[in-house]
Structure 1
Amino acid sequence: MKLDTRKSLMALGLIVLVTGFRLIEHPFNSTPMLAVMLFSAAVIKDWRLKIAIPLLCLAISDVLVGIKYGYGTYTSSALVYFAFATVFAIGYFALKKLNVVNIALGSIAGSIVFFLITNFAFFYPEAAIANPTLGHYPHNWVGIVASYQAGLPFFKNMLAGDLMFNGLLFGAYALVLKSAAFQRANA
C-alpha cells in the first residue's frame, strides 16, 4: 500500500474517532468538528477525500446528534455549513506547513471566524429589541453587539474544544507517523 494511502487511512480513522466525541456528553459548543475541518484540509492529499470525509462526518454526526439529543441540524444549517467550509479553507491555505504554531493559529483563527459568522445578528430574525433567549436581534449595531455578547460563553467552550481536538488530531497523527511500526511498514 502506498504511503499516501496509509496516511489517508490513518487520518480517516482519527477523524472518525474524534467525530464520535459529538455523541458523548460535553460542554455546549465544545465539539471536534472545526478540528476535523482543519485536519482534513491540512493532511489528506486526495482533494475529493479532503472535502468528502469532513462533510460526511459532519452530516452523519448531525443526524446522530439529532436522534440522540433532538437537535443537530438547524434551520440555519446552510450558514453553519458555510462557516465550516470557511474553516476548511483556513486549514487548506494556512496549514501548508504543519507545526505547533501554525496549528494553534489555525485553530484560533477557525474558532474566531466560525464565531463571527454564526453569531452575526443579521442572520437571525429581526426584532425591535434584542432577545437573546429567542435568538432575535435588531439589524443594527446594537443587535450585532447583543448577538456577539450572547455567544461569548459558547465561544469560550468552542475555543477550548478546538485547541484540544486539534492538539489531539495533529498530535496523534504526528506520533503515529514517527512511530517505529509506521516507519518499518513504509520502509
Structure 2
Amino acid sequence: MIPSRNIVLVSLLVLAVVSRFLPHPPNFSPILAVSLFGGVYFANRWVSLLLPLAIMALSDAFIGFHALVPVVYGMFVLFALAGRWLKNRLSIGTLAITGLLGSSAFFLVTNFFVWATSGMYSLDADGLATCYIAAVPFFQNSLLGDAIYIPTLFGSFYLMEKSGFVPEQQIA
C-alpha cells in the first residue's frame, strides 16, 4: 500500500519539528527548510504560509517566546513565499541559492532588529558592525542547519516520489 502524499509530507515535517527539541547549537534550525518545503509542496497558499508560524508558535510555547517573535515569524512567512516562487523553478541550484539567500536574509534582518531594539549596542555604525560580528557564530549554525535540513527534506521527498513510495501529485 502506498501512503498518501499528505501523510508523507506531514511526517517529514513532524520529524523536522521534533528536531527543534533535540539538543542542538543555537540557530541550528529546520524552520527555513520547512518554510521552503511547505511553500513548494502545499498547494493551499494559506497552509504553506501558516505552517511555519504554527510550528514556531507551538515549539516556542515550550522553548520560550522572545521580543523578536514578529520579526522572526515574518521571515519564515517570507521563506514560505519564496518556496511558492520556487515551486515551478525547483532544481538543486535554485534550492541551494534560495537557502543561502534565506539564511543570509535571516541573519541580516534579525540582527538589525537586535541592534535597533535590544539596547546592547550603540545605535551607530560601530554598534551595528559589532552586533553583526557578534552574531557570526549563530550565522554559521544557521548555514549548517539549512545545509543539512534543506537537502534532507527535499531530497528524501524526491527519492520517495521517484521510487513510487509517494504518488507524484500536488496536495491541497
TM-score over 0.5 (shorter chain): yes
> 1:46 deviation in Å?
1.4
Q: Which runs of 5+ in 2 are unaligned?
A: none
Distance 1:49 1:109, change over 3 A: same
Matched, 1:11 2:9: yes
Could you say which residue in structure 1 is the equivalent of 2:130?
Answer: 146
Counterpart CA distance in 2 for 1:159 and 1:45 is 27
AA in 2 matched with 1:83: M
The one of 118, 121, 141 equivalent to 1:125 is 118
Counterpart CA distance in 2 for 1:110 and 1:145 is 20
For each residue in 1:77-119, what CA deviation from the matched residue of structure 2 results, as whole angstroms up to 9, or x when unmatched? 1121122222222222244322111111111111000000110
For the aligned residues, what is the CA RMSD? 2.0
| Larger relative contact order (CA 8 Å, sep ≥ 6) | 2
Counterpart CA distance in 1 for 2:147 and 2:96 is 7
Distance 1:95 1:159, change over 3 A: farther
Q: Which runs of 5+ in 1 are unaligned?
A: 1-5, 67-71, 127-135
Bigger shift: 94-103 or 153-162?
94-103
Could you say which residue in structure 2 is the equivalent of 1:69?
Answer: none
Matched, 1:171 2:155: yes
Could you say which residue in structure 1 is the equivalent of 2:71?
Answer: 79
TM-score where L is the length of structure 2? 0.87
Larger Rg belongs to: 1
Is residue 95–residue 103 contact of structure 1 (8 Å, CA) maintained in 2? no
Counterpart CA distance in 2 for 1:56 and 1:13 is 15
> 1:59 deviation in Å?
1.1
Counterpart CA distance in 2 for 1:170 and 1:24 is 21
AA in 2 matched with 1:159: L
How do residues 26-41 of structure 1 correspond to structure 2 at under 5 angstroms? 26-41=24-39
The one of 118, 121, 124 equivalent to 1:137 is 121
